[in-house]
Amino acid sequence: MTTANTAAPATYFNLHTQGIGYLNRVREVPVRRGQPFMACDIAALHGASDDVEYTRFDCKVAGGEAERLIRDHLEDVRAERKVLIAFRIGDLWVDAFTYEKGERKGQPGASLKGRLIFIEWIKVNGQLTYKAPARQDASSAEPPSEAAEEHAPNPSHSADQAQNQATQPA
């Protein structure tokens, strides 16, 4: 009689964050040992449409399709056009750091980080430029109306300003 090793397949619990936000600070991140990767910031919108608030996410772009879409819109971001995306982020975590310069030098700070795993749609200056094919198992987010976009400014920040905003209390 032979005994087969039948280990149960690994199971995972996914925690995804989804929303809409402005794409900022697209960059290629060099790695000392290994391949460089693409990263971006997303200033996610939340709150009342007449008093929009932002939460900043620093994301590693994961997956070929998301990376292709970000690369396709790189020049729009660099030209400071309003690039609004419906996104899904996985593996959210907090990165604690100490400010090394500026008026907060020496103070602790935190940044929300995650992996950008899916882009539902993209609008550039209010014009829809990409919409993901419909999926049967997921509800799709509708692009916001033009009126909703007019109430929300484009929160384009320098790296220091974005890190300062990330640590301000809600």
For 121-159, what is each residue's pLDDT tens digit? 999 999 999 999 987 654 445 555 554 455 455 555 444
Decide if 67 is inside a domain.
Answer: yes
Q: Please name which of 31, 55, 28 lies closest in space to residue 44, comparing C-alpha atoms.
A: 55
Decide if 10 is inside a domain.
Answer: no
Decide if 11 is inside a domain.
Answer: no
Decide if 167 is inside a domain.
Answer: no
Decide if 163 is inside a domain.
Answer: no
Question: Distance (Å, rounded) from C-alpha 152 to C-alpha 52?
Answer: 6
119: domain range? 16-135+142-155
Indicate the pTM of the whole model: 0.74
Decide if 83 is inside a domain.
Answer: yes
Decide if 169 is inside a domain.
Answer: no
Total domain count for the chain? 1
- CATH number of the domain encompassing residue 98: 2.40.50.140
pLDDT by residue, tens only, the chain of 170 residues: 555 566 778 888 888 999 999 999 999 999 899 889 999 999 999 999 999 999 999 999 998 899 999 999 999 999 999 999 999 999 999 999 999 999 999 999 999 999 999 999 999 999 999 999 987 654 445 555 554 455 455 555 444 444 444 333 33
Decide if 107 is inside a domain.
Answer: yes
